[in-house]
Structure 1
Protein backbone atom coordinates (compact mmCIF):
# COMPACT_ATOMS: atom_id res chain seq x y z
CA UNK A 1 0.00 0.00 0.00
CA UNK A 2 1.24 3.47 -0.85
CA UNK A 3 2.43 5.57 2.07
CA UNK A 4 0.39 8.53 0.82
CA UNK A 5 -2.77 6.49 1.09
CA UNK A 6 -2.45 6.10 4.84
CA UNK A 7 -3.28 8.57 7.57
CA UNK A 8 -0.42 10.39 9.25
CA UNK A 9 -1.14 8.67 12.53
CA UNK A 10 -0.73 5.18 11.00
CA UNK A 11 2.70 5.76 9.44
CA UNK A 12 6.10 4.93 10.85
CA UNK A 13 7.37 3.78 14.21
CA UNK A 14 7.13 5.91 17.33
CA UNK A 15 10.77 6.98 16.97
CA UNK A 16 10.25 7.95 13.33
CA UNK A 17 7.11 9.92 14.18
CA UNK A 18 8.96 11.71 16.99
CA UNK A 19 11.89 12.60 14.74
CA UNK A 20 9.61 13.80 11.93
CA UNK A 21 7.55 15.92 14.33
CA UNK A 22 10.66 17.49 15.84
CA UNK A 23 12.10 18.25 12.40
CA UNK A 24 8.84 19.86 11.29
CA UNK A 25 8.69 22.03 14.41
CA UNK A 26 12.30 23.17 14.07
CA UNK A 27 11.98 24.30 10.46
CA UNK A 28 8.54 25.82 10.91
CA UNK A 29 9.64 27.94 13.86
CA UNK A 30 12.64 29.38 12.02
CA UNK A 31 10.50 30.40 9.05
CA UNK A 32 7.81 32.22 11.04
CA UNK A 33 9.91 33.67 13.90
CA UNK A 34 9.61 37.35 12.82
CA UNK A 35 5.83 37.08 12.45
CA UNK A 36 5.65 35.49 15.89
CA UNK A 37 7.47 38.43 17.49
CA UNK A 38 5.15 40.88 15.72
CA UNK A 39 2.09 38.93 16.89
CA UNK A 40 3.24 38.93 20.52
CA UNK A 41 3.99 42.67 20.46
CA UNK A 42 0.52 43.41 19.08
CA UNK A 43 -1.19 41.08 21.56
CA UNK A 44 0.49 42.81 24.49
CA UNK A 45 -0.38 46.29 23.22
CA UNK A 46 -3.26 47.87 25.12
CA UNK A 47 -3.45 50.96 22.90
CA UNK A 48 -3.46 51.71 19.16
CA UNK A 49 -3.36 54.71 16.83
CA UNK A 50 -6.92 54.06 15.67
CA UNK A 51 -8.27 54.09 19.23
CA UNK A 52 -8.76 57.68 20.48
CA UNK A 53 -8.40 56.45 24.04
CA UNK A 54 -4.77 55.50 23.32
CA UNK A 55 -3.59 59.11 23.19
CA UNK A 56 -3.94 59.37 26.95
CA UNK A 57 -1.24 56.72 27.40
CA UNK A 58 1.46 57.33 24.81
CA UNK A 59 4.19 56.81 27.43
CA UNK A 60 3.18 53.20 27.91
CA UNK A 61 5.43 52.02 25.12
CA UNK A 62 5.68 52.03 21.32
CA UNK A 63 2.46 52.03 19.33
CA UNK A 64 2.37 49.38 16.63
CA UNK A 65 -0.09 49.36 13.75
CA UNK A 66 -0.18 46.70 11.05
CA UNK A 67 2.14 43.78 10.43
CA UNK A 68 4.60 45.39 8.02
CA UNK A 69 4.76 48.70 9.87
CA UNK A 70 5.35 46.89 13.15
CA UNK A 71 8.12 44.86 11.55
CA UNK A 72 9.76 47.99 10.16
CA UNK A 73 9.48 49.72 13.54
CA UNK A 74 11.16 46.81 15.32
CA UNK A 75 13.92 46.75 12.70
CA UNK A 76 14.50 50.49 13.07
CA UNK A 77 14.63 50.50 16.88
CA UNK A 78 16.06 47.06 17.71
CA UNK A 79 17.78 45.82 14.55
CA UNK A 80 17.37 42.55 12.71
CA UNK A 81 17.90 40.51 15.86
CA UNK A 82 14.79 42.13 17.31
CA UNK A 83 12.67 40.00 14.98
CA UNK A 84 14.19 36.81 16.38
CA UNK A 85 13.95 37.63 20.08
CA UNK A 86 12.95 34.55 22.04
CA UNK A 87 13.98 32.29 19.19
CA UNK A 88 16.13 29.95 21.33
CA UNK A 89 13.39 28.93 23.79
CA UNK A 90 10.91 29.00 20.90
CA UNK A 91 13.01 26.56 18.85
CA UNK A 92 13.30 24.25 21.83
CA UNK A 93 9.57 24.56 22.43
CA UNK A 94 8.59 23.88 18.81
CA UNK A 95 10.83 20.81 18.56
CA UNK A 96 9.56 19.32 21.82
CA UNK A 97 5.98 20.44 21.18
CA UNK A 98 5.76 18.92 17.73
CA UNK A 99 7.33 15.65 18.87
CA UNK A 100 4.98 15.27 21.87
CA UNK A 101 1.97 16.39 19.82
CA UNK A 102 2.41 13.90 16.97
CA UNK A 103 3.30 10.98 19.24
CA UNK A 104 0.30 11.64 21.51
CA UNK A 105 -1.94 12.07 18.47
CA UNK A 106 -0.85 8.75 17.02
CA UNK A 107 -1.01 6.92 20.38
CA UNK A 108 -4.45 8.29 21.23
CA UNK A 109 -5.79 7.21 17.85
CA UNK A 110 -4.45 3.70 18.33
CA UNK A 111 -5.99 3.50 21.81
CA UNK A 112 -9.36 4.69 20.51
CA UNK A 113 -9.36 2.13 17.74
CA UNK A 114 -8.27 -0.65 20.07
CA UNK A 115 -10.94 0.26 22.62
CA UNK A 116 -13.74 0.58 20.06
CA UNK A 117 -12.63 -2.24 17.80
CA UNK A 118 -12.52 0.01 14.73
CA UNK A 119 -10.16 -0.29 11.79
CA UNK A 120 -9.99 3.42 10.97
CA UNK A 121 -11.87 6.50 10.06
CA UNK A 122 -12.78 5.54 6.55
CA UNK A 123 -15.94 3.75 7.54
CA UNK A 124 -17.64 6.87 8.83
CA UNK A 125 -18.41 5.20 12.09
CA UNK A 126 -19.37 1.83 10.69
CA UNK A 127 -17.61 -1.39 11.50
CA UNK A 128 -17.31 -2.48 15.08
CA UNK A 129 -18.42 0.81 16.58
CA UNK A 130 -15.45 2.80 15.28
CA UNK A 131 -15.69 6.56 15.69
CA UNK A 132 -16.28 8.74 12.62
CA UNK A 133 -13.08 10.17 11.22
CA UNK A 134 -13.85 13.72 12.37
CA UNK A 135 -14.61 12.64 15.96
CA UNK A 136 -11.53 10.44 16.14
CA UNK A 137 -9.30 13.21 14.80
CA UNK A 138 -10.83 15.78 17.15
CA UNK A 139 -10.17 13.67 20.26
CA UNK A 140 -6.66 12.69 19.16
CA UNK A 141 -5.81 16.25 18.14
CA UNK A 142 -7.10 17.72 21.41
CA UNK A 143 -5.16 15.15 23.44
CA UNK A 144 -1.99 15.84 21.47
CA UNK A 145 -2.33 19.60 21.86
CA UNK A 146 -3.03 19.44 25.60
CA UNK A 147 -0.13 17.08 26.31
CA UNK A 148 2.32 19.14 24.22
CA UNK A 149 1.18 22.44 25.76
CA UNK A 150 1.58 21.21 29.34
CA UNK A 151 4.95 19.58 28.65
CA UNK A 152 6.51 22.62 26.97
CA UNK A 153 4.72 25.49 28.73
CA UNK A 154 7.77 26.94 30.56
CA UNK A 155 9.50 27.33 27.20
CA UNK A 156 6.41 29.04 25.80
CA UNK A 157 6.43 31.51 28.69
CA UNK A 158 10.14 32.22 28.19
CA UNK A 159 9.56 32.74 24.45
CA UNK A 160 6.86 35.32 25.18
CA UNK A 161 8.92 37.22 27.74
CA UNK A 162 11.98 37.44 25.51
CA UNK A 163 9.88 38.56 22.54
CA UNK A 164 8.22 41.19 24.74
CA UNK A 165 11.41 42.88 25.91
CA UNK A 166 12.74 45.85 23.98
CA UNK A 167 16.17 47.45 24.17
CA UNK A 168 15.87 47.44 27.96
CA UNK A 169 16.75 43.80 28.46
CA UNK A 170 14.80 42.18 31.26
CA UNK A 171 16.73 38.92 30.98
CA UNK A 172 20.35 38.73 29.82
CA UNK A 173 20.24 35.10 28.76
CA UNK A 174 18.04 32.03 28.85
CA UNK A 175 19.88 30.63 31.85
CA UNK A 176 19.58 33.89 33.80
CA UNK A 177 15.89 34.10 32.92
CA UNK A 178 15.26 30.62 34.33
CA UNK A 179 17.18 31.39 37.51
CA UNK A 180 15.51 34.79 37.97
CA UNK A 181 11.97 33.47 37.48
CA UNK A 182 12.67 30.57 39.83
CA UNK A 183 14.02 32.94 42.47
CA UNK A 184 11.42 35.71 42.23
CA UNK A 185 8.26 33.81 41.21
CA UNK A 186 8.86 30.18 42.17
CA UNK A 187 7.95 27.18 40.07
CA UNK A 188 4.43 28.55 39.57
CA UNK A 189 5.97 31.47 37.70
CA UNK A 190 6.84 29.16 34.80
CA UNK A 191 3.18 28.19 34.40
CA UNK A 192 1.46 31.58 34.38
CA UNK A 193 -1.40 31.41 31.90
CA UNK A 194 -1.46 27.62 31.61
CA UNK A 195 -5.24 27.62 32.25
CA UNK A 196 -6.21 29.69 29.19
CA UNK A 197 -3.44 27.91 27.28
CA UNK A 198 -5.08 24.52 27.80
CA UNK A 199 -8.55 25.98 27.30
CA UNK A 200 -7.39 27.35 23.95
CA UNK A 201 -5.29 24.47 22.67
CA UNK A 202 -7.84 21.68 23.20
CA UNK A 203 -10.49 23.07 20.80
CA UNK A 204 -7.78 24.52 18.54
CA UNK A 205 -5.95 21.26 17.94
CA UNK A 206 -9.18 19.26 17.91
CA UNK A 207 -10.66 21.42 15.15
CA UNK A 208 -7.31 21.59 13.33
CA UNK A 209 -6.82 17.85 13.03
CA UNK A 210 -10.50 17.16 12.36
CA UNK A 211 -10.50 19.61 9.43
CA UNK A 212 -7.06 18.50 8.25
CA UNK A 213 -7.90 14.80 8.18
CA UNK A 214 -11.21 15.55 6.45
CA UNK A 215 -9.69 17.70 3.69
CA UNK A 216 -6.44 15.88 3.03
CA UNK A 217 -7.94 12.79 1.31
CA UNK A 218 -9.96 15.01 -1.04
CA UNK A 219 -6.93 17.16 -1.92
CA UNK A 220 -4.34 14.39 -2.20
CA UNK A 221 -5.24 13.58 -5.81
CA UNK A 222 -5.05 17.19 -7.02
CA UNK A 223 -2.02 18.68 -8.72
CA UNK A 224 -1.13 21.22 -6.04
CA UNK A 225 2.07 23.12 -5.21
CA UNK A 226 4.68 20.99 -3.39
CA UNK A 227 3.01 17.87 -4.80
CA UNK A 228 0.66 17.32 -1.86
CA UNK A 229 -2.67 18.50 -0.50
CA UNK A 230 -1.25 18.42 3.01
CA UNK A 231 -0.02 22.02 2.89
CA UNK A 232 -3.36 23.39 1.68
CA UNK A 233 -5.36 21.27 4.12
CA UNK A 234 -3.09 22.37 6.97
CA UNK A 235 -3.51 26.03 6.04
CA UNK A 236 -7.32 25.91 5.93
CA UNK A 237 -7.51 23.91 9.16
CA UNK A 238 -5.19 26.30 10.99
CA UNK A 239 -7.02 29.46 9.91
CA UNK A 240 -10.40 28.11 11.02
CA UNK A 241 -9.11 26.85 14.36
CA UNK A 242 -7.04 29.96 15.13
CA UNK A 243 -9.89 32.42 14.53
CA UNK A 244 -12.21 30.62 16.91
CA UNK A 245 -9.77 30.42 19.82
CA UNK A 246 -7.75 33.63 19.41
CA UNK A 247 -9.07 35.54 22.48
CA UNK A 248 -7.77 32.82 24.82
CA UNK A 249 -4.37 32.98 23.13
CA UNK A 250 -4.24 36.74 23.72
CA UNK A 251 -5.23 36.34 27.37
CA UNK A 252 -2.50 33.71 27.79
CA UNK A 253 0.12 36.12 26.46
CA UNK A 254 -1.03 38.93 28.74
CA UNK A 255 -0.90 36.65 31.80
CA UNK A 256 2.52 35.26 30.86
CA UNK A 257 4.15 38.67 31.36
CA UNK A 258 2.56 39.27 34.75
CA UNK A 259 4.79 39.32 37.80
CA UNK A 260 7.59 41.56 39.12
CA UNK A 261 8.92 42.36 35.63
CA UNK A 262 5.55 43.36 34.15
CA UNK A 263 6.43 47.05 33.69
CA UNK A 264 9.87 46.44 32.19
CA UNK A 265 8.81 45.05 28.81
CA UNK A 266 8.46 47.09 25.63
CA UNK A 267 4.82 47.76 26.61
CA UNK A 268 5.09 49.17 30.12
CA UNK A 269 1.38 49.73 30.73
CA UNK A 270 0.11 46.13 30.73
CA UNK A 271 -2.60 45.97 33.44
CA UNK A 272 -2.42 43.53 36.32
CA UNK A 273 -4.86 40.68 35.77
CA UNK A 274 -6.46 38.37 38.30
CA UNK A 275 -6.97 35.07 36.55
CA UNK A 276 -8.39 34.25 33.13
CA UNK A 277 -11.91 35.52 33.75
CA UNK A 278 -10.58 38.67 35.38
CA UNK A 279 -8.30 39.29 32.41
CA UNK A 280 -11.17 38.94 29.94
CA UNK A 281 -13.33 41.34 31.96
CA UNK A 282 -10.54 43.90 32.26
CA UNK A 283 -9.77 43.79 28.54
CA UNK A 284 -13.43 44.12 27.61
CA UNK A 285 -13.89 47.05 30.00
CA UNK A 286 -10.74 48.96 29.04
CA UNK A 287 -10.29 48.03 25.36
CA UNK A 288 -13.64 46.70 24.22
CA UNK A 289 -14.29 43.51 22.27
CA UNK A 290 -11.67 44.59 19.77
CA UNK A 291 -9.04 44.26 22.48
CA UNK A 292 -9.46 40.48 22.53
CA UNK A 293 -8.50 40.27 18.86
CA UNK A 294 -5.36 42.41 18.74
CA UNK A 295 -2.87 40.73 16.45
CA UNK A 296 -5.43 38.42 14.83
CA UNK A 297 -4.44 39.42 11.29
CA UNK A 298 -0.75 38.66 11.73
CA UNK A 299 -1.70 35.54 13.67
CA UNK A 300 -3.64 34.25 10.68
CA UNK A 301 -0.84 35.30 8.33
CA UNK A 302 1.57 33.40 10.58
CA UNK A 303 -0.69 30.39 11.01
CA UNK A 304 -0.95 29.68 7.30
CA UNK A 305 2.75 29.28 6.46
CA UNK A 306 3.51 27.76 9.88
CA UNK A 307 0.96 24.98 9.50
CA UNK A 308 1.70 24.47 5.83
CA UNK A 309 5.45 24.18 6.48
CA UNK A 310 4.86 21.96 9.53
CA UNK A 311 2.60 19.45 7.80
CA UNK A 312 4.53 19.50 4.51
CA UNK A 313 7.84 18.98 6.32
CA UNK A 314 6.37 16.35 8.63
CA UNK A 315 5.10 14.21 5.77
CA UNK A 316 8.40 14.36 3.90
CA UNK A 317 10.54 13.93 7.00
CA UNK A 318 8.52 10.85 7.91
CA UNK A 319 9.01 9.44 4.40
CA UNK A 320 12.74 10.14 4.73
CA UNK A 321 13.08 8.48 8.14
CA UNK A 322 11.01 5.44 7.19
CA UNK A 323 13.01 5.07 3.97
CA UNK A 324 16.24 5.43 5.94
CA UNK A 325 15.11 2.69 8.32
CA UNK A 326 14.20 0.40 5.43
CA UNK A 327 17.59 0.88 3.80
CA UNK A 328 19.29 0.23 7.14
CA UNK A 329 17.37 -3.02 7.59
CA UNK A 330 18.21 -4.13 4.06
CA UNK A 331 21.89 -3.50 4.64
CA UNK A 332 21.96 -5.77 7.70
Structure 2
Protein backbone atom coordinates (compact mmCIF):
# COMPACT_ATOMS: atom_id res chain seq x y z
CA UNK A 1 0.00 0.00 0.00
CA UNK A 2 2.89 2.39 0.68
CA UNK A 3 4.96 1.49 -2.37
CA UNK A 4 3.65 4.47 -4.40
CA UNK A 5 4.86 6.81 -1.64
CA UNK A 6 8.32 5.21 -1.62
CA UNK A 7 8.42 5.38 -5.41
CA UNK A 8 7.71 9.13 -5.45
CA UNK A 9 10.22 9.63 -2.63
CA UNK A 10 13.01 7.84 -4.52
CA UNK A 11 12.29 9.81 -7.67
CA UNK A 12 12.20 13.12 -5.82
CA UNK A 13 15.58 12.28 -4.23
CA UNK A 14 17.18 11.29 -7.51
CA UNK A 15 15.87 14.13 -9.69
CA UNK A 16 17.25 17.66 -9.64
CA UNK A 17 14.66 20.22 -8.53
CA UNK A 18 15.16 22.26 -11.71
CA UNK A 19 14.63 19.25 -13.98
CA UNK A 20 11.52 19.36 -16.16
CA UNK A 21 10.65 15.85 -14.94
CA UNK A 22 10.92 16.76 -11.23
CA UNK A 23 7.80 16.23 -9.15
CA UNK A 24 6.58 19.39 -7.41
CA UNK A 25 4.77 17.48 -4.65
CA UNK A 26 3.61 14.03 -3.62
CA UNK A 27 0.31 14.48 -5.45
CA UNK A 28 2.10 15.72 -8.58
CA UNK A 29 4.36 12.64 -8.46
CA UNK A 30 1.48 10.20 -8.02
CA UNK A 31 -0.65 11.76 -10.76
CA UNK A 32 2.32 12.01 -13.16
CA UNK A 33 3.16 8.33 -12.68
CA UNK A 34 -0.46 7.28 -13.30
CA UNK A 35 -0.66 9.53 -16.36
CA UNK A 36 2.66 8.43 -17.91
CA UNK A 37 3.10 4.84 -16.72
CA UNK A 38 -0.42 3.77 -15.84
CA UNK A 39 -1.76 2.75 -12.43
CA UNK A 40 0.58 -0.26 -12.33
CA UNK A 41 3.51 2.15 -12.54
CA UNK A 42 2.80 3.10 -8.93
CA UNK A 43 3.83 -0.40 -7.90
CA UNK A 44 7.22 -0.51 -9.59
CA UNK A 45 9.58 -2.37 -7.23
CA UNK A 46 6.82 -3.85 -5.06
CA UNK A 47 8.11 -7.42 -5.37
CA UNK A 48 11.43 -6.24 -3.94
CA UNK A 49 9.64 -4.43 -1.12
CA UNK A 50 8.21 -7.79 -0.08
CA UNK A 51 11.79 -9.05 0.32
CA UNK A 52 12.21 -6.28 2.89
CA UNK A 53 9.88 -8.11 5.24
CA UNK A 54 12.63 -10.67 5.73
CA UNK A 55 14.84 -7.96 7.27
CA UNK A 56 12.67 -7.76 10.38
CA UNK A 57 12.30 -11.54 10.55
CA UNK A 58 16.07 -12.07 10.44
CA UNK A 59 16.64 -9.32 12.99
CA UNK A 60 14.14 -10.75 15.50
CA UNK A 61 15.39 -14.32 15.14
CA UNK A 62 19.00 -13.20 15.70
CA UNK A 63 17.98 -10.96 18.62
CA UNK A 64 15.96 -13.70 20.35
CA UNK A 65 18.81 -16.22 19.93
CA UNK A 66 21.29 -13.78 21.47
CA UNK A 67 18.86 -12.95 24.28
CA UNK A 68 18.37 -16.66 25.07
CA UNK A 69 22.14 -17.13 25.10
CA UNK A 70 22.48 -14.13 27.46
CA UNK A 71 19.86 -15.48 29.87
CA UNK A 72 21.35 -18.99 29.80
CA UNK A 73 24.76 -17.55 30.61
CA UNK A 74 23.35 -15.42 33.44
CA UNK A 75 21.45 -18.40 34.91
CA UNK A 76 24.61 -20.53 34.86
CA UNK A 77 26.45 -17.76 36.69
CA UNK A 78 23.68 -17.59 39.32
CA UNK A 79 23.83 -21.37 39.78
CA UNK A 80 27.63 -21.38 40.15
CA UNK A 81 27.57 -18.62 42.74
CA UNK A 82 24.54 -20.05 44.59
CA UNK A 83 22.39 -16.98 44.01
CA UNK A 84 18.63 -17.35 43.83
CA UNK A 85 17.02 -16.60 40.47
CA UNK A 86 14.18 -14.15 41.03
CA UNK A 87 12.10 -11.56 39.20
CA UNK A 88 14.75 -8.87 39.62
CA UNK A 89 17.39 -11.14 38.06
CA UNK A 90 15.15 -11.92 35.09
CA UNK A 91 16.55 -9.00 33.10
CA UNK A 92 19.73 -8.33 31.17
CA UNK A 93 21.54 -5.00 31.25
CA UNK A 94 20.63 -2.13 28.94
CA UNK A 95 24.12 -2.45 27.48
CA UNK A 96 23.41 -6.09 26.62
CA UNK A 97 20.09 -5.19 24.98
CA UNK A 98 21.80 -2.40 23.03
CA UNK A 99 24.60 -4.70 21.86
CA UNK A 100 22.10 -7.40 20.82
CA UNK A 101 19.88 -4.94 18.95
CA UNK A 102 22.85 -3.48 17.04
CA UNK A 103 24.28 -6.90 16.22
CA UNK A 104 20.95 -8.35 15.09
CA UNK A 105 20.23 -5.28 12.91
CA UNK A 106 23.70 -5.50 11.34
CA UNK A 107 23.15 -9.19 10.55
CA UNK A 108 19.75 -8.48 9.01
CA UNK A 109 21.07 -5.58 6.93
CA UNK A 110 24.10 -7.55 5.76
CA UNK A 111 21.75 -10.18 4.34
CA UNK A 112 18.96 -7.98 2.98
CA UNK A 113 20.42 -4.56 2.11
CA UNK A 114 21.15 -5.42 -1.54
CA UNK A 115 17.42 -5.57 -2.29
CA UNK A 116 17.13 -1.89 -1.25
CA UNK A 117 19.82 -0.88 -3.72
CA UNK A 118 18.19 -2.86 -6.54
CA UNK A 119 14.76 -1.50 -5.64
CA UNK A 120 15.96 2.11 -5.60
CA UNK A 121 17.67 1.71 -8.96
CA UNK A 122 14.55 0.20 -10.52
CA UNK A 123 12.40 3.00 -9.11
CA UNK A 124 14.77 5.78 -10.22
CA UNK A 125 13.15 7.36 -13.26
CA UNK A 126 16.44 8.81 -14.55
CA UNK A 127 18.06 5.36 -14.55
CA UNK A 128 15.10 3.45 -16.00
CA UNK A 129 16.98 2.75 -19.25
CA UNK A 130 19.97 1.31 -17.39
CA UNK A 131 17.96 -0.66 -14.81
CA UNK A 132 14.68 -1.75 -16.45
CA UNK A 133 14.16 -5.07 -14.61
CA UNK A 134 15.37 -6.85 -11.49
CA UNK A 135 17.64 -9.32 -13.34
CA UNK A 136 19.10 -6.56 -15.53
CA UNK A 137 19.72 -4.38 -12.48
CA UNK A 138 21.44 -7.17 -10.56
CA UNK A 139 23.56 -8.11 -13.59
CA UNK A 140 24.58 -4.54 -14.38
CA UNK A 141 25.34 -3.66 -10.74
CA UNK A 142 27.51 -6.77 -10.39
CA UNK A 143 29.33 -6.12 -13.68
CA UNK A 144 30.00 -2.44 -13.00
CA UNK A 145 30.54 -2.35 -9.24
CA UNK A 146 30.86 -5.88 -7.94
CA UNK A 147 29.65 -6.82 -4.46
CA UNK A 148 30.32 -3.31 -3.12
CA UNK A 149 27.69 -1.92 -5.47
CA UNK A 150 24.97 -3.80 -3.60
CA UNK A 151 25.95 -2.09 -0.34
CA UNK A 152 26.07 1.52 -1.54
CA UNK A 153 24.63 3.82 1.11
CA UNK A 154 24.78 1.19 3.85
CA UNK A 155 26.79 3.44 6.19
CA UNK A 156 24.24 6.23 5.90
CA UNK A 157 21.42 3.76 6.43
CA UNK A 158 23.10 2.43 9.59
CA UNK A 159 23.41 5.93 11.02
CA UNK A 160 19.72 6.41 10.29
CA UNK A 161 18.32 3.13 11.70
CA UNK A 162 20.63 1.97 14.51
CA UNK A 163 19.73 4.64 17.11
CA UNK A 164 16.02 3.97 16.70
CA UNK A 165 16.58 0.23 16.79
CA UNK A 166 18.54 0.47 20.05
CA UNK A 167 16.00 2.72 21.74
CA UNK A 168 13.10 0.53 20.62
CA UNK A 169 14.60 -2.70 21.95
CA UNK A 170 15.87 -1.24 25.24
CA UNK A 171 12.52 0.44 25.98
CA UNK A 172 10.59 -2.69 24.97
CA UNK A 173 12.69 -5.01 27.15
CA UNK A 174 12.48 -2.70 30.16
CA UNK A 175 8.73 -2.25 29.84
CA UNK A 176 8.19 -5.99 29.32
CA UNK A 177 10.26 -6.72 32.44
CA UNK A 178 8.41 -4.07 34.45
CA UNK A 179 5.02 -5.47 33.46
CA UNK A 180 6.13 -9.06 34.19
CA UNK A 181 7.62 -8.20 37.58
CA UNK A 182 4.59 -6.09 38.58
CA UNK A 183 2.23 -8.92 37.62
CA UNK A 184 4.32 -11.48 39.52
CA UNK A 185 4.47 -9.30 42.64
CA UNK A 186 0.71 -8.71 42.46
CA UNK A 187 0.14 -12.46 42.14
CA UNK A 188 2.46 -13.15 45.11
CA UNK A 189 0.55 -10.62 47.26
CA UNK A 190 -2.75 -12.21 46.25
CA UNK A 191 -1.48 -15.66 47.24
CA UNK A 192 -0.21 -14.35 50.57
CA UNK A 193 -3.61 -12.79 51.31
CA UNK A 194 -5.36 -16.08 50.53
CA UNK A 195 -3.13 -17.97 52.96
Question: So what's the TM-score if we normalise by structure 2?
Answer: 0.70
> Residues of 2 paired with 1:129 and 1:215: CA distance?
11
Report the aligned-residue RMSD. Answer: 3.2
- Would you say the 8 A contact 1:116–1:129 is kept in 2? no
Unaligned residue ranges in structure 1 (runs of 5+) = 1-30, 48-57, 220-332
- Would you say the 8 A contact 1:78–1:167 is kept in 2? no
- Would you say the 8 A contact 2:59–2:108 is kept in 1? yes
- Would you say the 8 A contact 2:10–2:120 is kept in 1? yes
Q: CA deviation at 1:66?
A: 3.4
Q: 1:209 to 1:74 in 2, by over 3 A?
A: farther
Q: 1:61 to 1:154 in 2, by over 3 A?
A: farther
Q: 1:129 to 1:205 in 2, by over 3 A?
A: closer
> Residues of 2 paired with 1:69 and 1:136: CA distance?
47
- Would you say the 8 A contact 2:114–2:150 is kept in 1? yes
2:93 maps to which of 128, 131, 137: 131
- Would you say the 8 A contact 2:121–2:127 is kept in 1? no
- Would you say the 8 A contact 2:122–2:132 is kept in 1? no
Unaligned residue ranges in structure 2 (runs of 5+) = 79-85, 180-195
Q: How many residues end up aligned between the 2 structures?
A: 171
**1:36 aligned to 2:36?**
no
Q: 1:129 to 1:178 in 2, by over 3 A?
A: closer
> Per the alignment, in what secondary structure is the counterpart of residue 186 of structure 1?
helix
1:182 maps to which of 123, 142, 146: 142
**1:98 aligned to 2:56?**
yes
**1:81 aligned to 2:40?**
yes
Q: Any idea what the Cα deviations from partners look like across 1:56-115, whole Å, max 9, x if unmatched?
A: xx3x352223333322222222222222111222222x1331221111121122223233
Larger Rg: 2
Specify the alignment match of 1:109 in structure 2.
Answer: 67
> Per the alignment, in what secondary structure is the counterpart of residue 89 of structure 2?
coil
Q: 1:167 to 1:145 in 2, by over 3 A?
A: closer
Specify the alignment match of 1:159 in structure 2.
Answer: 119
Q: CA deviation at 1:129?
A: 7.5
> Residues of 2 paired with 1:137 and 1:72: CA distance?
45
